[in-house]
């Protein structure tokens, strides 16, 4: 395995990568051309916010399986391309939140007490203890845009200053506002027109880019102070410069700029703006947590484990992961049967989760089923990231339903796979923690432990069939591990499921197929 690290991560993080046995190449901020020419060699890359992991880079990255973002924001990574190519993007969303929140507090104090201006004067050996009259935070109104991880940390910290905190975040439940004792504002306008400080903590999205511009600033309370420690461009830099010059905004504290690295933004030349060069995550603690966190996520994803911070697939908490692991394996196995037993393209896949399975993260099990279903027939690599997209592109409609009880099993997953006018069904269960069983195939009931090679034979229910198959396989030196026969009506069609120790050849299968009474036989590799 080869891992490319293109930006600085902590020594502790590097050590975790290196001790894994992977070959780790460190190339700090390589020129674009060089990056494009080498990326095909790597299985994983670790970046921060500088490296543009865009559509073009993905087109060169033939072996890339994981992009690790050492940090939170993933706006430098083209997510649709990653998902299409089945590349898992992992990040460390919590690791630097406290540091980013503390820098926000720092900017608020700096601009309200004019600390940078006073400091600059002192550095010029100029003593003026009357010239830097500021304002207190006490009892002032603070408006937070985006009450996520960092927004909420800022809220609790500023409540200690006895600020009155309100927030605008249309995507979270009222209970989160209540939990943090923050007043909910329905619109950005409602927030900005009455607060003394506004601080943004949203990701940069199509919706949030430029969300605070001239229009919003014109409605703001006169003398408002503005902080952006989230992403450059959420507040329009030209419009903010204008608003400061107009006296609408009194001061601004800015950690992030639209085009980083940048030394030319108009904000550089405005008196009341305090600038830092995107250092929200720049603490020893954050860098250690980020570095070690991203290293573990990247290695876990490379090993094919379910990682907890994958950005482009549903994630599971660690305890959920243990619980759901066996059902994921079962789902993938059930999915693998169809295309090995039928060549008809699938129109619709119905997944019925029964019993205890309904309490699990079924979204993830569905991805495992789709992965299993498409792997035997799709050229691209199929994984949890692109399984849904691939199914959609193949015109497969996926329908999930849940039934809290099952007549026979504590938990049961059933697939109904529709192709033209036919319907193939298969079902399975997990006994105890990890004993998988195939429990049903096309209406025939079984209790089979799935193994790497399985033969599924349809036959006439008549005497001597088991003996004939056994003798035939024996003659071809194929050892039968287990054999089960199931029928629904005596004398009609029956089904046999055999688990065998070695892979039969085409020739072997042909011979079995020719046994009188055998209607068809199929090999399933798991
Ligand atoms: N300066 C730094 O070094 C630094 C460090 C870490 C994170 N960040 C940035 O801080 C920001 C917040 O990070 P986080 O971990 O708190 O994210 P988060 O995902 O936990 O929270 C973001 C919140 O924004 C809300 N939101 C989304 N769109 C919105 C909209 N249009 N209007 C209002 N609210 C909206 C979401 O509902 C969510 O609650 C991100 O942009 C991240 O990249 C910067
Ligand atoms: O320093 C960095 O890597 C950026 C940190 C921060 O903006 C993030 O999104 O995690």
Q: Which tokens hold the place of 398?
A: 């996926």
Q: Is residue 307 domain-resident? A: no
Tell me the per-residue pLDDT of 395-437, one tens digit each, with 9 for 90 and over: 999 999 999 888 899 999 999 999 998 999 999 999 998 899 9
Which ligand has the shortest distance to the CA of 48?
2
Tell me the per-residue pLDDT of 465-521, one tens digit each, with 9 for 90 and over: 889 888 988 988 899 999 999 988 887 889 999 999 999 999 999 988 998 899 999
Per DSSP, which regions of 321-433 are E strands? Answer: 348-355, 397-403, 411-419, 422-431
Q: Is residue 311 domain-resident? A: no
For ligand 1, whether the C-beta of 354 sits within 6 Å is: no
Higher pLDDT, 309 or 452: 452
For residue 511, give every residue at least 6 positions away whose Cβ sits within 8 Å of its Cβ, in sequence order, or none: 472, 476
Q: How far is CA 21 from CA 14, 18, 306, in A?
A: 12, 6, 20
Question: Catalytic site residue 260?
Answer: yes
Which ligand has the shortest distance to the CA of 51?
2
CA neighbor of 278 nearest in space, from 17, 103, 16, 424? 103
Q: Is residue 280 domain-resident? A: no
Q: Which atom of ligand 2 is nearest to the CA of 50?
A: 3
Q: Which atom of ligand 1 is nearest to the CA of 229?
A: 1
pLDDT at 222 over 90: yes
Same domain, yes or no: 369 and 445: yes
Q: Which candidate in 278, 296, 329, 437 is catalytic?
A: 278
Torsion, CA 67, CA 73, CA 78, CA 82, rounded to 10? 40
Site to probe by mutation for ligand 1, drawn from 100, 253, 258 as the one with most ligand atoms within 8 Å of Cβ, is 100
- What total number of domains does the chain contain? 3
Question: Catalytic site residue 78?
Answer: no
Contact between 14 and 291 (Cβ < 8 Å): yes
Which ligand has the shortest distance to the CA of 97?
1
Q: Which tokens hold the place of 408?
A: 């026979």
Q: Which candidate in 189, 260, 320, 350 is catalytic?
A: 260
Instruction: State the complex-level ipTM.
Output: 0.99
CATH code of the domain containing 382: 3.30.1330.90
Same domain, yes or no: 454 and 475: yes
Same domain, yes or no: 350 and 385: yes
Domain that holds residue 80: 2-92+286-302
Tell me the per-residue pLDDT of 346-372, one tens digit each, with 9 for 90 and over: 999 999 999 999 998 899 899 999 999
Same domain, yes or no: 339 and 206: no
For ligand 1, whether the C-beta of 209 sits within 6 Å is: no
CA neighbor of 104 nearest in space, from 157, 148, 146? 157
CA neighbor of 295 nearest in space, from 7, 15, 1? 15
Same domain, yes or no: 440 and 486: yes
pLDDT at 317 over 90: no
């Amino acid at each position: 395995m080869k891992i490319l690290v293109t930006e600085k991560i902590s020594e502790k993080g590097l050590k975790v990568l290196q001790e894994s046995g992977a070959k780790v190449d460190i190339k700090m901020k390589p020129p674009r051309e060089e990056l494009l020419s080498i990326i095909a060699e790597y299985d994983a890359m670790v970046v921060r916010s500088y490296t543009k992991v865009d559509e073009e880079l993905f087109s060169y990255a033939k072996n890339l399986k994981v992009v690790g973002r050492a940090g939170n924001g993933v706006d430098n990574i083209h997510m649709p391309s990653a998902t299409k190519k089945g590349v898992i993007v992992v990040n460390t969303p919590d690791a630097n939140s406290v540091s980013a929140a503390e820098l926000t507090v720092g900017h608020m104090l700096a601009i309200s007490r004019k600390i940078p201006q006073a400091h600059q004067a002192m550095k010029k050996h100029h003593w003026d203890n009357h010239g830097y009259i500021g304002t207190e935070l006490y009892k002032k109104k603070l408006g937070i845009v985006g009450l996520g991880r960092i927004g909420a940390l800022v809220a609790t910290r500023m409540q200690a200053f006895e600020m009155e905190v309100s927030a605008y975040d249309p995507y979270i439940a009222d209970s989160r506002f209540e939990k943090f004792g923050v007043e909910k504002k329905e619109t950005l306008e409602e927030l900005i027109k009455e607060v003394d400080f506004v601080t943004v903590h949203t990701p940069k999205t199509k919706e949030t880019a430029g969300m605070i511009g001239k229009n919003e600033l014109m409605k703001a309370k006169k003398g408002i102070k503005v902080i952006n420690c989230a992403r450059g461009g959420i507040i329009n830099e030209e419009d903010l410069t204008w608003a400061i010059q107009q006296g609408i905004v009194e001061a601004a504290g800015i950690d992030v700029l639209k085009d980083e690295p940048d030394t030319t933004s108009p904000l550089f030349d405005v008196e009341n703006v305090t600038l830092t060069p995107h250092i929200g995550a720049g603490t020893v603690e954050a860098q250690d947590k980020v570095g070690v966190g991203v290293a573990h996520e990247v290695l876990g994803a490379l090993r094919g484990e379910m990682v907890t911070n994958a950005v482009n697939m549903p994630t599971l908490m660690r305890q959920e992961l243990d619980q759901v692991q066996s059902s994921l394996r079962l789902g993938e196995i059930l999915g693998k049967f169809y295309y090995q037993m039928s060549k008809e393209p699938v129109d619709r896949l119905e997944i019925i989760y029964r019993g205890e399975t309904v309490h699990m993260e079924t979204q993830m099990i569905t991805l495992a089923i789709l992965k299993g279903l498409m792997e035997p027939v799709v050229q691209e690599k199929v994984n949890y990231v692109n399984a849904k997209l691939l199914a959609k592109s193949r015109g497969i409609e996926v329908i999930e339903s849940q039934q809290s009880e099952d007549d026979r099993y504590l938990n049961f997953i059933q697939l109904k796979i529709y192709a033209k006018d036919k319907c193939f069904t298969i079902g399975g269960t997990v006994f105890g923690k990890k004993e998988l069983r195939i429990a049903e195939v096309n209406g025939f009931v079984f209790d089979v432990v799935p193994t790497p090679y399985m033969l599924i034979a349809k036959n006439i229910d008549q005497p001597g069939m088991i003996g004939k198959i056994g003798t035939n396989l024996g003659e071809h030196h194929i050892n039968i591990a287990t054999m089960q026969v199931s029928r629904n009506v005596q004398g009609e069609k029956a089904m046999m499921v055999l688990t065998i120790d070695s892979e039969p050849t085409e020739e072997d299968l042909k011979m079995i197929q020719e046994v009188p009474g055998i209607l068809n036989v199929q090999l399933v590799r798991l």
